[in-house]
Amino acid sequence: MPFRSGPGGITVRLRVTPRGGADRIEGRGEDADGKPYLKLRVSAVAEKGKANDAVLKLLAKAWRVPRSSLSLLSGETGRIKVVKIEGDAEKLMAHIGASLESP
């Protein structure tokens, strides 16, 4: 599972495709080492933080959490990113898990 509970919220591991034609969450995947991630596409280009900002906006909208509760922990210039979502970890895991299961 690409999500981890931690103090003050959860983290999610992402694989982002910039200039992907649309902003959407595409599902789950795994890298060559078997580490899970959530696949995303954003239409923004990967320059001057535009794609990173688009990722955070997409997640906030999709998961109905305030944009201010999201922060990029790692992967600023790479495709693999780790985002922290601040809040009650148990509630966030249930809410986000349910949103990923629904069509």
Residues of the domain holding 20: 3-101
- Quote the number of domains for the chain: 1
**What CATH number should be reported for the domain holding residue 49?**
3.30.1200.10
Residues 6+ apart with CB under 8 A from 17: 39, 40, 41, 42, 79
Model confidence pLDDT, tens digit, residues 1-11:
789 998 899 99
Model confidence pLDDT, tens digit, residues 59-77:
999 999 999 999 999 999 9
Predicted confidence band of residue 102 (pLDDT cuts 50, 70, 90): low
